[in-house]
C-alpha cells in the first residue's frame, strides 16, 4: 500500500451480540464507535480491510472550517474543537496542529465569494480574515505570484491521516469496542422489516442498530436493500514529498494550481486541487441525473472520465450475492487506485514554479484514493426510515477527515436518540428523493 499507516491489532474475541455494529473503520466509523463507547454502548467495529486503509489515510490532512458549505459549518466548527480535545483525551498524538489555513488567489471572483461566505459564516460564530493583496503576498512570502487577495483562517488546522484514525481506534478498543479487520460485512440481518444484526464472513453478529460508514462502498451495500444512496466515487491523487524547507508559516496553503500541507516530519503533502477522475460505471449512470448540476459546473469540468474494469468490479458495479457467499467487499479488501501520473508531475511543477526554493524537491510516494461524493457535496448522516435500525454516514465529499470527529458524535446522538449537536435536516437521506437537496451556487 503506497500510504503509510499505523497498524492496529484486532480485539481478542469475536462478538456474537452487541448494541451497535459499525461498518467501516475509517475516520467516521472509528469516531462513531469511540463516541458510542464513551456512553457505555457495546460496539463492534468491523472493517473489510484495515483501519483507515482507504480514503481516511489518503486525504490531504486538512482540518478546516473555512469555505465549508454553510449547512456543514456548525459540524465543522464542532469537529475542530473535538480534534483539539481528542489527543489529550486519548493520550495519543493525532498530528493535529491549529496552524491556520491560507488561501491566495488572482481572481476577483474568488475574493468576492470568500467575502460573501465570511459574512454568512460570522452569523454562525466563525471568523476569518479577508486579505488585501499586500497581506496575501506577505503571508505567502517567497513565492513568485502576485496575489490580488486571499483569506486567512487562523483557527483551522491540520492532522496526520496515518496517525489519527489508528489512534482513535486504539482508544475505542480500550473503552471496550470490539474491533475486527479483514472482516467484511456481507449483509444485514433483518427480522420483520427491522435490522437485527449483520452477516459477516465470520458469522452473524446480533445488534439493534447498524451504522454504515463504508465510504465508497456504502452505496453498493445499501442498494442491496432497496436504499438509494446517490454517490459518485471520484479518484483523486496526492503526493508526499521528500523533506524540504518550510516556505509559509501557515500549515496549509491553497493556490489556484496546487495545495500543500506541512507534515510533522518536514515533508509536504501536495496535490492539484479540483482535479480527479470519474469512472463510467453502472451505478454512476444510475445516478447521473442527480449529479447533472455538478457535472456541468466548474467542478465537473475539471474531471477526467474513463471506462475501465471498475465497470464490472468495485464499489460502483452492479451484481448480487448471498450472505453465505464471498461478497464484493472480500474481493477488494483495500481500494488502491493508481495515482494519476500527469497530476503528480503537474503538482510538483506548479509547486516549484511558485517556490523556487523547493526546486528539485522529490516525490517520496504518490497514491490515489476514491472520494465518495454526494450530489450537493454535503454528507448523508441519517436514519433510513424505510429500514428501522439502519443508519448511514457516507457521501462526505472529501470532507470526512476534517469533520470525522464531529460526524462521529452526531451519529452517536442519532443512534442514542439524543438532542443532536446541530440541525440534522441538511444531512437526511430523503433530500435526494423529495426534491429538497441543497443546491450550491457555484453549481448553477
What is the C-alpha to C-alpha distance for residues 32 and 53, in angstroms, rounded to an integer? Answer: 17
Question: How far apart, in Å, are the Cα atoms of 326 and each of 189, 217, 273?
Answer: 16, 15, 37
Residue 1: pLDDT over 70: no
What CATH class is the domain 17-432? alpha beta
Q: What SS3 string covers the chain? A: CCCCCCCCCCCCCCCCECCEEEECCCHHHHHHHHHHHHCCCCEEEECCCCCCCCHHHCCCCEECCCCCCCCCHHHHHHHHHHHHHHHHHHCCCCCCECCCEEEEECCHHHHHHHHHHHHHHHHCCCCCEEECHHHHHHHCCCCCCCCCEEEEECCCEECCHHHHHHHHHHHHHHCCCEEECCCCEEEEEEECCEEEEEEECCEEEECCEEEECCHHHHHHHHHCCCCCCCCEEEEEEEEEECCCCCCCCCCEEECCCCEEEECCCCCEEEECCCCEEEECCHHHHHCCHHHHHHHHCHHHHCEEEECCHHHCCCCCCCCCCCCCCCCHHHHCCCCCCCCCHHHHHHHHHHHHHHCHHHCCCCEEEEEEEEEEECCCCCCEEEECCCCCCEEEEECECCCHHHHHHHHHHHHHHHHCCCCCCCCCHHHCHHHHCCCCCCCCHHHC
For the CA atoms of 104, 105, 109, 111, the dihedral, rounded to the nearest 10 degrees, stands at: 30
What is the distance between the alpha carbons of residues 28 and 411, in angstroms, rounded to a whole number? 9
Distance between CA atoms of 373 and 341, rounded to whole angstroms? Answer: 23
Please state which of the ranges 92-101, 301-310, 349-358 shows the lowest mean pLDDT: 301-310
Residue 149's nearest CA partner among 60, 265, 224, 254 is 254
Cβ neighbours of residue 301 closer than 8 Å, sequence gap 6 or more: none
- Average pLDDT rounded to a whole number, residues 142-162: 96
User: What are φ and ψ of residue 53, in 5° steps?
Assistant: -75, -20
CB contact at 8 A, 252 and 260: yes
Kindly state the average pLDDT of the residues 132-142. Answer: 95
Q: Which residue has the higher pLDDT, 378 or 437?
A: 378
Residue 444 has pLDDT above 80, yes or no: no
The fraction of the chain above a pLDDT of 70, given in percent, is 98
Q: Are 392 and 229 in contact (CB under 8 A)?
A: yes
**What are 74-117's pLDDT values in tens digits?**
999 999 999 999 999 999 999 999 999 999 999 999 999 999 99
Average pLDDT score, the chain: 94
Grid coordinates in use for 149? 487577495
pLDDT-derived band at 441, boundaries 50, 70, 90? very low
Mean pLDDT score, 153-171? 97
In the chain, where the domains are located:
17-432
pLDDT confidence bin for 2, thresholds 50/70/90: low
Q: Which of 80-94, 170-184, 212-226, 291-305 has the lowest mean pLDDT?
A: 291-305
Amino acid at each position: 500500500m503506497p500510504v503509510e499507516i499505523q497498524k492496529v491489532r484486532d480485539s481478542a474475541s469475536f462478538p456474537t451480540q452487541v448494541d451497535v455494529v459499525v461498518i467501516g473503520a475509517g475516520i467516521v466509523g472509528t469516531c462513531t464507535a469511540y463516541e458510542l463507547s464513551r456512553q457505555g454502548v457495546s460496539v463492534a467495529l468491523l472493517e473489510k480491510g484495515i483501519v483507515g486503509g482507504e480514503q481516511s489515510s489518503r486525504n490531504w490532512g486538512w482540518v478546516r472550517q473555512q469555505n465549508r458549505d454553510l449547512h456543514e459549518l456548525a459540524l465543522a466548527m464542532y469537529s475542530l474543537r473535538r480534534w483539539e480535545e481528542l489527543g489529550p483525551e486519548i493520550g495519543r498524538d493525532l498530528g493535529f496542529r491549529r496552524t491556520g489555513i491560507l488561501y491566495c488567489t488572482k481572481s476577483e471572483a474568488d475574493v468576492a465569494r470568500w467575502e460573501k461566505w465570511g459574512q454568512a459564516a460570522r452569523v454562525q460564530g466563525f471568523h476569518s480574515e479577508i486579505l488585501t493583496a499586500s497581506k496575501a503576498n506577505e503571508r505567502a512570502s517567497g513565492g513568485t505570484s502576485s496575489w490580488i487577495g486571499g483569506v486567512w483562517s487562523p483557527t483551522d488546522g491540520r492532522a496526520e491521516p496515518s496517525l489519527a484514525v489508528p489512534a482513535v481506534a486504539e482508544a475505542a478498543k480500550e473503552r471496550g469496542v470490539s474491533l475486527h479487520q479483514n472482516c467484511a460485512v456481507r449483509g444485514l440481518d433483518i427480522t420483520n422489516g427491522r435490522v437485527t444484526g449483520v452477516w459477516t464472513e465470520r458469522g452473524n453478529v446480533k445488534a439493534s442498530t447498524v451504522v454504515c460508514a463504508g465510504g465508497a462502498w456504502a452505496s453498493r451495500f445499501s442498494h442491496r436493500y432497496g436504499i438509494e444512496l446517490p454517490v459518485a466515487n471520484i479518484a483523486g491523487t496526492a503526493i508526499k514529498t521528500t523533506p524540504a524547507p518550510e516556505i509559509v508559516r501557515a500549515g496549509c496553503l491553497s493556490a489556484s494550481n496546487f495545495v500543500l500541507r506541512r507534515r510533522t516530519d518536514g515533508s509536504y503533502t501536495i496535490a492539484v486541487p479540483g482535479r480527479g477522475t470519474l469512472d463510467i460505471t453502472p451505478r454512476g449512470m444510475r445516478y447521473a441525473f442527480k449529479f447533472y448540476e455538478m457535472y456541468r459546473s466548474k467542478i465537473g469540468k475539471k474531471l477526467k472520465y474513463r471506462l475501465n474494469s471498475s465497470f464490472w468490479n468495485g464499489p460502483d458495479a452492479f451484481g448480487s450475492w448471498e450472505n453465505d457467499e464471498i461478497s464484493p467487499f472480500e474481493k477488494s479488501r483495500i481500494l488502491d487506485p493508481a495515482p494519476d501520473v500527469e497530476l503528480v508531475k503537474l503538482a510538483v511543477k506548479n509547486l516549484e514554479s511558485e517556490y523556487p526554493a523547493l526546486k528539485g524537491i522529490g516525490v517520496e510516494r504518490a497514491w490515489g484514493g476514491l472520494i465518495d461524493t454526494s450530489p450537493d457535496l454535503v454528507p448523508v448522516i441519517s436514519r433510513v426510515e424505510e429500514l428501522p435500525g439502519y443508519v448511514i454516514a457516507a457521501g462526505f465529499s472529501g470532507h470526512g477527515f476534517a469533520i470525522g470527529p464531529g460526524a462521529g458524535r452526531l451519529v452517536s446522538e442519532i443512534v442514542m436518540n439524543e438532542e443532536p449537536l446541530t440541525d440534522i435536516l441538511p444531512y437526511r437521506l430523503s433530500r435526494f428523493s423529495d426534491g429538497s437537496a441543497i443546491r450550491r451556487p457555484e453549481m448553477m
